[in-house]
Structure 1
């Protein structure tokens, strides 16, 4: 089989590390360092951002992505997903206890509770207060998020608008990008991203910086392409569990942090009672 055929062939979750080993001689020196880190401790990478992996390999995030694409993956996030699947025990979901709906529900709820407890004990409140200050001083606030973070951004924009703040969120990524470029120095872009390495969110953040606006973010990793762009950052995330390989737990943590931001701002926005009453009056028109 040719190298091209290997790259285009479907990859099973059980052969990803072997595939990396088979390409070691074809990697550039930088890609080889990335591969060596991946092979040495692939489980730890599940809680590592692309920037953090690049630092460990003494290279750039671009080299990390190139190593991934050279073996047929679309990028670093797909590598993490494949590695996560590889580390799930084959019998895990086949056991009677795990297939039982009650046990699964209990396990998931305990995971959520643990993630929220961990966040409560590790959240940097100075960072939270700094983001609050940026929101209060901004003339206009734009939310930027895609994928699983999009619903959080939409909810956040709605709730902050009920406090009388000038907040917008549009789901279309092209519109997000354009609106970010239209921001001014007195404005603020608030990005929400679990990984901090989503192309569309990064594009909006870069556009906002180019326009002179401030950029803040809620994300899960201390070091990522997004945090490198930000003026202020709230780090609040959670390691994913063996049952879920996507950012479900972290999304719940981010929702809780956004709820806390809303409560803090509600106590600090001038003349907030007028806006809350206006919101209550409008909502009353939609309820029996």
Structure 2
């Protein structure tokens, strides 16, 4: 079998992988204890966890919230669910001996896993902030290069269908010119899997200097792009050999874009619904 069951807490582990570099030493002790005793943790009280990890109860609560849980009980419920219903994983690395059927299963499962993991690490609070910011914005510019540039173009296409005016220039020089003309009230969305792309960073810094609000979509919490952005929306995907074009990360990025668009549209449902009808009718003859 290519799909194997592992008794591990995928959701918790994904959140830890994202946030661990940002945690304080005392908080890291709590995380290490939970990771090492994940099957036992659901039977322990917050006091026991604090004592056995040499931390305070307030530190345990703070760790839970920094990982995106409502509190200690929410963490326990999540861990219990993952222990009772072990996640199905697949080894992403494609081997020379793999058959087409095996490769199909590996690629599909890796992309599915990227979406599940992104669902865990993409903050609800940050998403809601991003939606309100986009709804109130005067102008939206979307920046990315390479594979991320394709995501930016897709986002522009989708937003335009709803009547939301956006721009996603593909040329880096035009992106810089665009960013230099932004003003307070405008929004710049920067897409970069690593968060270290030099062009995207320069463009986003230019937009920030003009007073625009910055939203980034990236896979790494400890990156230069997150440090300058006002709102960070995280993906979670691991790229391996034969996946150098960041397929899984693009799918996660596109899904975040879809979530933003659908959420903005529900804030004025009838208006955006009518816009979708208009844009569909405008291109109807092209489908014949």
* TM-score class normalised by the smaller sequence: 0.5 to 0.7
Residue equivalent to 2:275: 275
Residue equivalent to 2:147: 148
In the TM superposition, residue 114 of structure 1 has moved relative to its aligned partner by 1.5
Residue 95 of structure 2: SS of its match in structure 1? Answer: helix
**Is 1:163 equivalent to 2:165 in the alignment?**
no
In the TM superposition, residue 245 of structure 1 has moved relative to its aligned partner by 4.5
In the TM superposition, residue 105 of structure 1 has moved relative to its aligned partner by 1.1
CA displacement, residues 53-94 of structure 1 (integer Å, 9 cap, x when unaligned): 9xxxxxxxxxxxxxxxxxxxxxxxxxxxxxxxxxx99xx733
Residue equivalent to 2:203: 204
- What are the equivalent positions in structure 2 for 1:7-86 lying under 5 Å apart? none
- What are the equivalent positions in structure 2 for 1:238-253 lying under 5 Å apart? 238-241=237-240, 243-253=242-252
Tell me the distance in 2 between the aligned counterparts of 1:274 and 1:139.
Answer: 21
Residue equivalent to 2:174: 175
In the TM superposition, residue 260 of structure 1 has moved relative to its aligned partner by 1.6
In the TM superposition, residue 246 of structure 1 has moved relative to its aligned partner by 4.8
Residue 143 of structure 1: SS of its match in structure 2? Answer: strand
In the TM superposition, residue 201 of structure 1 has moved relative to its aligned partner by 0.5
In the TM superposition, residue 269 of structure 1 has moved relative to its aligned partner by 3.8
In the TM superposition, residue 173 of structure 1 has moved relative to its aligned partner by 0.5
The answer to whether the Cα contact below 8 Å between 1:111 and 1:241 also exists between their aligned partners in 2 is: no
The answer to whether the Cα contact below 8 Å between 1:195 and 1:219 also exists between their aligned partners in 2 is: yes
The answer to whether the Cα contact below 8 Å between 2:115 and 2:236 also exists between their aligned partners in 1 is: no
Residue 286 of structure 2: SS of its match in structure 1? Answer: coil
CA RMSD of aligned residues (A): 2.5
Residue equivalent to 2:96: 94
Distance 1:139 1:244, change over 3 A: same
Tell me the distance in 1 between the aligned counterparts of 2:285 and 2:257.
Answer: 27
Tell me the distance in 2 between the aligned counterparts of 1:121 and 1:215.
Answer: 22
Distance 1:142 1:269, change over 3 A: farther
Tell me the distance in 1 between the aligned counterparts of 2:144 and 2:96.
Answer: 36
Residue 286 of structure 1: SS of its match in structure 2? Answer: helix
The answer to whether the Cα contact below 8 Å between 1:194 and 1:237 also exists between their aligned partners in 2 is: no
Tell me the distance in 1 between the aligned counterparts of 2:233 and 2:121.
Answer: 11
Residue equivalent to 1:132: 131
Residue equivalent to 2:89: none
The answer to whether the Cα contact below 8 Å between 1:136 and 1:269 also exists between their aligned partners in 2 is: no
Tell me the distance in 2 between the aligned counterparts of 1:170 and 1:246.
Answer: 20
Moved over 3 A (4+): none
Residue equivalent to 1:114: 113
The answer to whether the Cα contact below 8 Å between 2:180 and 2:206 also exists between their aligned partners in 1 is: yes
The answer to whether the Cα contact below 8 Å between 2:182 and 2:211 also exists between their aligned partners in 1 is: yes
Residue 94 of structure 1: SS of its match in structure 2? Answer: coil
In the TM superposition, residue 240 of structure 1 has moved relative to its aligned partner by 2.1
Name structure 2 gaps, 5 residues minimum: 1-16, 23-91
Tell me the distance in 1 between the aligned counterparts of 2:119 and 2:234.
Answer: 12
Q: How many residues align?
A: 202
CA displacement, residues 93-134 of structure 1 (integer Å, 9 cap, x when unaligned): 333xx1x11111111111111221222233211111111111
